[in-house]
Amino acid sequence: MGPFLETLFGGLMVGMLYSLVALGLVLIFKASGVFNFAQGAMVLFAALTMARFAEWLPHLTGLNNKFVDNVLAFAGAALVMVAMAWTVQKLVLGKLVNQEGITLLMATLGINYFLEGAGQALFGNDIYKIDVGLPKDPIFLFEKTFQGGILVNQEDLAAAVIAAVLVAALALFFQKTATGRALRAVADDHQAAQSIGIPLDRIWVIVWAVAGLVALVAGVIWGSKLGVQFSLSLVALKALPVVILGGLTSIPGAIIGGLIIGVGEKLSEIYIGPMFGGGVEIWFAYVLALAFLLVRPQGLFGEKIIDRV
Amino acid sequence: MLYRENGQFKTSYRADQQVFPILQDRIAIIVLLGLAVVAVPLLASEYLMRAVLIPFLILSLAALGLNILVGYCGQISLGTGAFMAVGAYAAYNFQVRIEGMPVIASLLLGGVFATIVGVIFGIPSLRIKGLYLAVATLAAQFFVDWAFLRIRWFTHDTPSGSVSVAGLSVFGYPIESPAQKYVFCLAFLLVFGVLAKNLVRGAIGREWMAIRDMDVAAEVIGIRPVYSKLTAFAVSSFIVGVAGGLWAFVYLGSWEPAAFSIDRSFQLLFMIIIGGLGSIMGSFFGAAFIVVLPIVLDNLPQLFGIPIDTAMASHLTFMIFGSLIVFFLIVEPHGLARLWSTAKEKLRLWPFPH
């Protein structure tokens, strides 16, 4: 029972990180119909910015308070992500309005390459550490319930709390603020939203900025767990099966899809992996998503796709 | 003035259905073929052939295959690298396990196996489409990558899937020097180019295009989506598989699964987007652009005498590459092929446009 629960727990943690990346994807897709391939690169870029700012700031300001440095670095990185959102909208997507979906997808692939190159050109290509002071020691849970209990990283628990807070904050933002209402209106129907005076341009900048901030949070959590390096943007490819499993237009779908894939991946590696010589988790997510799509093409929570002639 | 079709009357159905209906085009293509077949192997330097022309030919072939699927049938695929890998490793197995197997037969059989895998991973396209399908084809990419890395039988029990072939020969002629390799690849490209061109302008090509434009409407007018989509997957993966075999056998010589990673799939997708979706000519333009661009970018700093270290250069290449893709999409979303046809339109009226 112990090892199974531990694997399950580990899977949930990884899945939560997938969910965070997928969340950014869904936000942008819902609001602008752009399938943002660059979300992974955004995570890498944001994490690199944060890591390097945190490293440079003590030298610049002379402050040696880790908390203040981290907060400043986070704020700086957040500003960079907002600036990036604005630039993307002005220079790229604003010029591609009314193009087909595949053209927009390709444009985000271009952005993906640019961000990967720019991030490493500006901030270097070593492995960097983000240390935001998350507790590191593992603890045992449920020791009383059964023999041995299960081993859990406190860091993972803290990350889960941060992610939950982020999702709650996003939900509040979408449900309770005027901007959030405008965002939902645009997601529902572009033309109708524009006709009642919602400025599409500004909304898209906001959506990209929010997706950038989500990417930053994902990058910080991931970076403090595994270090900031290029592979971050590759791991983010896993967000793709997550969104199609959950449904491209559904925020709960992104979260539940991420958890399913995280858990499925870890369990399959432990229980099916040895049969094939390991490495099953490389493709498990994709094949699971593929098999699922055959039964339910719109994903778990996606809107039903209706064709009209 | 020179490019004018006045007085060229089509008096028979044959004349009306030619691939190049304009006399000047036919002359140009014959001259181009003459240059490619005779002049280039004699004159081009070894470096030019090894670094530019051979990759260009093979990747054009792969882009041609992908363009049939994505450009003509509208099924987005991110698994091209996987189909190339299947072609390459299947051809390798035939070459190694069967004594005296002709190279061409191995390559074509590799294509057949790529077709089988392509059709299997194409089956979901009957239920899902668009972006969902794009992600579904990623399953092919990662599964195949993994299979060649882990399942020893496919790679003839070599560790980590790195294999090599040597001493290729066709009908007694060795394929050793760059010039011989060039001619070998060119022959494949020409045969498949003519085949593809005639497929897409025939009945089946029209079915593909109908499916691409609107599959429900196509179904209503009596086109079988199962048949059209799966044939597109089959033809496309066959060509891509053969290209994969050529890439492995002729260009690389020894290779491992990483040669056909997801980056290769993206690269090929870029080629057809930049070249022009739904255009045979576009595949060639795109391949040329993507093959030449990194070489130019690598050499530019040295040309201007700017000292730059290799890591920085590769990051800059990424950035310029990304910006160029975006630039192209904004300026000409239909790709280089559209620029080419616009230029031809202009040329017909030059120097007296009305």
B183 lies in some domain = yes
Domain contains B118:
yes
A40 touches chain B (CB under 8 A): no
Domain-embedded: residue B4: no
Would you call B326 and A114 a contact, using CB atoms and an 8 Å cutoff?
A: yes
pLDDT score at A231: 77
**A200: Cα within 13 Å, side-chain hemisphere:** 18
Q: Tens digits of per-residue pLDDT, A4-40?
A: 877 888 888 888 888 888 888 888 888 877 888 888 8
Q: Where are the alpha helices (DSSP H) in chain B?
A: 13-16, 23-34, 40-43, 46-47, 54-67, 80-97, 103-122, 131-150, 178-200, 203-213, 215-220, 225-246, 262-275, 280-303, 310-331, 335-349
Domain hosting B220: range is: 44-349
Pull the structure tokens for residue B154.
């496919």
Which residue ranges in chain B fall short of pLDDT 70? 1, 354
**pLDDT, average across residues A166-177:** 87
B219 part of a folded domain: yes
**Domain A2-295 class, CATH top level:** mainly alpha
Q: Please check whether residue A237 touches B, CB under 8 A.
A: yes
Number of continuous H segments (helices) and E segments (strands) in chain A: 13, 2
Q: Return the pLDDT at A148.
A: 60
Nearest CA in chain A to B152: A277
pLDDT score of A146: 62
Please tell me the distance in Å from A308's CA to the nearest CA on chain B: 7
**Inter-chain touch B135–A283, beta carbons under 8 Å:** no
- Give residue B195's pLDDT: 95
Answer yes or no: is B31 within a domain.
no
Give the sign of the dihedral formed by CA B6, CA B8, CA B12, CA B17.
negative
Amino acid sitting at position B180: Q
Residue A304 has pLDDT above 90, yes or no: no
Amino acid A134: pLDDT: 67
DSSP run (H or E) holding A151:
strand A150-153
Residue with tokens 């009314």, as numbered in its chain: A98
Exposure letters B14-40 (e unless 16+ CB within 10 A, then b): eeeeeeeeeebeeeeeeeeeeebeeeb
Q: What is d(CA A85, CA A69) in angstroms, rounded to the nearest whole number? A: 24
Compare CB distances from B128 to A115, A293, A308 and report the shortest one's residue.
A293
Say what the pLDDT of residue B69 is: 94
Write the CATH number for B93: 1.10.3470
B146 in helix, strand or coil? helix
Indicate the pLDDT class of residue A149, thresholds 50, 70 and 90: low
Facing B323 at nearest CB: one of A114, A125, A280: A114
pLDDT score for B112? 97
Q: How far is B114 from chain A (nearest CA, A)?
A: 19
Tally the domains of chain B: 1
Q: How far from chain centre, in Å, is Cα A9?
A: 19
Q: Which residues pair with B174 in a beta bridge?
A: B169
Mean pLDDT of A71-90: 91
The ipTM (two decimal places) reads: 0.82
Confidence at residue A120, expressed as pLDDT on a 0 to 100 scale: 86
Give Cα separations from B197 to A18, B84, B208, B231, B338 (angstroms). 43, 21, 13, 15, 17
Question: Across chain A, what does the average pLDDT equal?
Answer: 83
Per residue in B27-78, pLDDT (tens digit) is 999 999 999 988 888 888 888 888 899 999 999 999 999 999 999 998 988 8
Q: Is residue B216 part of a domain?
A: yes
Q: How confident is the model at residue A100 (pLDDT cuts 50, 70, 90)?
A: confident
Is residue B194 within 8 angstroms of chain A, CB to CB? no
Q: Which residues contact B80 (CB under 8 A, 6 or more apart)?
A: B62, B65, B66, B240, B264, B265, B268, B269
- Single out the residue of B181, B346, B199, B177 nearest to residue B251, CA to CA: B181
Quick one: pLDDT at residue B100?
Answer: 81
| Partner A contacted by B273 (CB < 8 A) | yes
- Which of the four pLDDT bands, split at 50, 70 and 90, describes residue A266? confident
Q: Which residues of B touch A287 (CB under 8 A)?
A: 139, 143
Assess whether pLDDT exceeds 70 at residue A141: no
pLDDT at B30: 94
Q: What is the pLDDT of residue B268?
A: 93
Question: Residue B195: inside a domain, yes or no?
Answer: yes
Of the pLDDT bands very low, low, confident and very high (cuts 50, 70, 90), residue A135 is: low
Q: How confident is the model at residue A150 (pLDDT cuts 50, 70, 90)?
A: low
Q: In this predicted structure, what is the pLDDT of residue B110?
A: 95
Distance from CA of B315 to the nearest CA of A (A): 4
Chain A residues with CB-CB distance to B139 below 8 A = 241, 283, 286-287, 289-290
What is the spatial distance between Cα B193 and Cα A212, in angstroms, rounded to a whole number? 44
Average pLDDT over residues A98-113: 83
Share of chain A above pLDDT 90, in %: 11
- Among chain B residues, the shortest Cα distance to A280 is held by B146
CB contacts of B141 in chain A (<8 Å) are 286
B34 belongs to a structural domain? no
Residue from the list B150, B217, B315 with its beta carbon closest to the beta carbon of A117: B315
Cβ contact A105–B329 (<8 Å): no
> Judged by CB atoms within 8 Å, which residues 160-179 of A form the interface with B?
none
With beta carbons less than 8 A apart as the criterion, state whether B239 and B65 touch. Answer: yes
- Does residue A142 surpass a pLDDT of 70? no
